[in-house]
A and B are shown apart, each in its own frame.
Chain A
């Protein structure tokens, strides 16, 4: 990882801390549950980014994966639940749903739930920021891989970040998590494409 990227990440973390600081400052003068809630969300967000950072760059000899048989639908439902809670606090953001109500997903897959969850969380966070109305998550089995997908209806790839808070950290995390999943000589990967009907599609392929 080049110094430039580190500087970029540090810069963004510093900005996020600054936001949190001013919120806390405001709370001193005017204790307000709404503002406290917002500060709390920002704090959680910031911590999430630190955990991501440490996951990608903190492990000296690469990410270690401990795969167990996990249920993809349970994992997606849990993400959905968190997203719904977030939406309560920040109204106006896109709604997250499950593709085909979750039918047709493999019943289990060997993966490191913590890492995959973290990667999906980052990808979902990204999709929600760009999306206009709706984000759709799905899971399917294809060519011996579990494919976890997140589709948004935003402007597509290459668009300028509306909230100006992209560090590339999320992408680095997703790629590291994908690569760390190996089975029988095959390796995981991440794909990002524009959907023909508009918007971007993120896919995490796990062997």
Chain B
């Protein structure tokens, strides 16, 4: 019978392409009493196994000699929420690669284990991390229940002890305060950490994010630049992102693109190339867009981290550049892979139409267009709708194309990125004169609907105001501007009426969760969530028994 150790109940997964190393690691885990060990030889197998079983510990070799390396797999697992929060992820790496991997990562695994590895190395890290997990449990449990205020209190409780876990508590507290929209308190927390340890990267970054959240974009940029200018921070892509997001918020899309370009230069990962490619495409820099997406396509070919959107964007950029034949080839190659994905098929058809028009085969284009129309359900503020609109315009169906673009604007009328792409679409199809009409008219119409609802509220016609904004949400369920207003108007209605209206509260919850999906980690959404929480709290006080 195996010896019982503190680790005996752990379910582990070893990811390594070398069978010798698999056996060694499995044996070392066995020495620590971890006998429930599965093995995966590549990223694809690993992803499949992680989906079907809940692991507590994953040991992953960095160099998988496959399309996907350990770091890419780890980021993929994190991005797709496949990793349970309490799962420890250890990256196994050779000496030489260590520094560059560690410096260039956006997500850090729980530990790096350097080859050659011994059982006691694993034990050391495991012991420390399990202790950390236990100490932080009161906090993480609150976070898991989305009780952010409770989590901050739990952090304060731990901070009182002034012990070994002080910095970990400060780090979570700062992040949670940012999620709560309490940026001034977040700033204080990060400054507290910096007093303990000067130049601490996560605290500097948190401070920059807190300024950005508070709308202090110049300060946010400066703080993030300060990180980038240090030798250790030169590859801190998160800091580049703060600069780029601040510039975007200040309306400098071009500047933001240059920052993303710098970030993709210092960390040339597929993920960074993708971000740059998308930004370059929006900004009309087709050469850069094509170059980036080609790199992404090449690097991710046949890997779990490949995304159909990468191929579509590459093909679209090629068509825009007049390289119809190349675009068709890219789409045909990808078709075997993504044939069954609805998000690929209809868009690929729309781009194909454009390519066929440019290649001088209008009859073919018309046939393809018919099929493309059939697959698109309802116009949205997305790449797919704009691609189809372009196809319509290029095939000579001006009315249909313009109508689609107007729908795209209305679907998310405050989204500067969509508007930028719609402007490009009109410009490239010879409709530059209509940019103003299409974009401004459609977005002004939405603006008016929102303002009408707000005016009704000001005139104390609460029910009418709510009804008006609800209609707008029904018409454009993914319009982030409308959703934010709907959340706010419903909250104000709750406050004014001073009564707990269950369906209204649930509606706001629904809108906020939809906003979370549409605009992840967005400062305005964070502030609206805070407003909602305060609304609920004020109603509880009001209705409390005397």
A complexed with B:
yes
Could you list which residues of chain A lie within 8 angstroms of chain B, going by C-beta atoms?
47, 51, 54-55, 58-59, 64, 66, 69, 71, 74, 78, 82, 107-108, 110, 114, 183-184
Q: Which of B103, B128, B164 contacts A64 (CB 8 A)?
A: B103
Q: Which of A69, A78, A108, A183 contacts B124 (CB 8 A)?
A: A78
Neighbouring A residues of B163 by C-beta, 8 Å: 107-108
Q: Which of B98, B120, B168, B199 contacts A69 (CB 8 A)?
A: B168
Q: Please determine whether B166 and A184 come into contact, CB atoms closer than 8 angstroms.
A: no
Q: Please determine whether A183 and B95 come into contact, CB atoms closer than 8 angstroms.
A: no
> A69 vs B193: C-alpha distance in the bound complex, in angstroms?
12
Neighbouring B residues of A69 by C-beta, 8 Å: 164, 166-168, 197
- Taking CB atoms and an 8 Å cut-off, the chain B residues in 147-193 that contact chain A are 162-168
Smallest beta-carbon distance A86→chain B, Å: 12
Smallest beta-carbon distance B312→chain A, Å: 38
> A184 vs B196: C-alpha distance in the bound complex, in angstroms?
12
Neighbouring B residues of A114 by C-beta, 8 Å: 114
Neighbouring A residues of B96 by C-beta, 8 Å: 58
Neighbouring B residues of A107 by C-beta, 8 Å: 162-164, 166
In this complex, what residue of B is CB-closest to A73?
B164
Q: Which 10 A-B pairs give the minimum distances between C-beta atoms?
A: A64-B99, A184-B198, A69-B167, A107-B164, A71-B164, A108-B164, A107-B163, A66-B102, A110-B197, A78-B124
Residue total for B at the interface (Cβ-Cβ under 8 A): 22
Smallest beta-carbon distance B240→chain A, Å: 20
In this complex, what residue of B is CB-closest to A54?
B95
Q: Please determine whether B167 and A47 come into contact, CB atoms closer than 8 angstroms.
A: no
- Taking CB atoms and an 8 Å cut-off, the chain B residues in 44-98 that contact chain A are 95-96, 98
Given contacts A183-B197, A184-B198, A184-B199, contact A108 B103 (CB under 8 A): no
Q: Which of A51, A71, A183 contacts B199 (CB 8 A)?
A: A183
Q: Please determine whether A183 and B198 come into contact, CB atoms closer than 8 angstroms.
A: yes
> A71 vs B125: C-alpha distance in the bound complex, in angstroms?
12
- Taking CB atoms and an 8 Å cut-off, the chain B residues in 186-233 that contact chain A are 197-200
> A58 vs B99: C-alpha distance in the bound complex, in angstroms?
12
Neighbouring B residues of A59 by C-beta, 8 Å: 99
In this complex, what residue of B is CB-closest to A75?
B124
13 of the cross-chain contacts (CB-CB < 8 Å) are A51-B95, A64-B103, A66-B103, A69-B167, A69-B168, A71-B164, A78-B124, A107-B162, A108-B165, A108-B166, A110-B197, A114-B114, A183-B198
> A58 vs B168: C-alpha distance in the bound complex, in angstroms?
33
> A59 vs B97: C-alpha distance in the bound complex, in angstroms?
10
Q: Which of A58, A108, A184 contacts B167 (CB 8 A)?
A: A108
Is B545 positioned at the interface, with any CB of A under 8 Å from its CB? no
Neighbouring B residues of A47 by C-beta, 8 Å: 116
Neighbouring A residues of B116 by C-beta, 8 Å: 47, 51
Most interface-central of A107, A108, A110 (chain B CB within 10 A): A108
Most interface-central of B114, B116, B124, B164 (chain A CB within 10 A): B164
Neighbouring B residues of A184 by C-beta, 8 Å: 198-199
Q: Please determine whether A82 and B99 come into contact, CB atoms closer than 8 angstroms.
A: no
Neighbouring A residues of B99 by C-beta, 8 Å: 59, 64, 66
> A124 vs B95: C-alpha distance in the bound complex, in angstroms?
23
> A83 vs B165: C-alpha distance in the bound complex, in angstroms?
27
Smallest beta-carbon distance B233→chain A, Å: 13
Q: Please determine whether A58 and B95 come into contact, CB atoms closer than 8 angstroms.
A: yes
Smallest beta-carbon distance B544→chain A, Å: 42
> A188 vs B454: C-alpha distance in the bound complex, in angstroms?
62
> A30 vs B399: C-alpha distance in the bound complex, in angstroms?
93
Smallest beta-carbon distance A164→chain B, Å: 27
In this complex, what residue of A is CB-closest to B116?
A47
Q: Which of A58, A74, A110, A183 contacts B128 (CB 8 A)?
A: A74
> A54 vs B166: C-alpha distance in the bound complex, in angstroms?
34
> A108 vs B116: C-alpha distance in the bound complex, in angstroms?
27
**11 further interface pairs, Cβ-Cβ under 8 Å (given A69-B164, A71-B128, A107-B163):** A51-B116, A58-B96, A64-B98, A64-B103, A66-B102, A66-B103, A71-B164, A107-B162, A108-B163, A108-B166, A110-B200
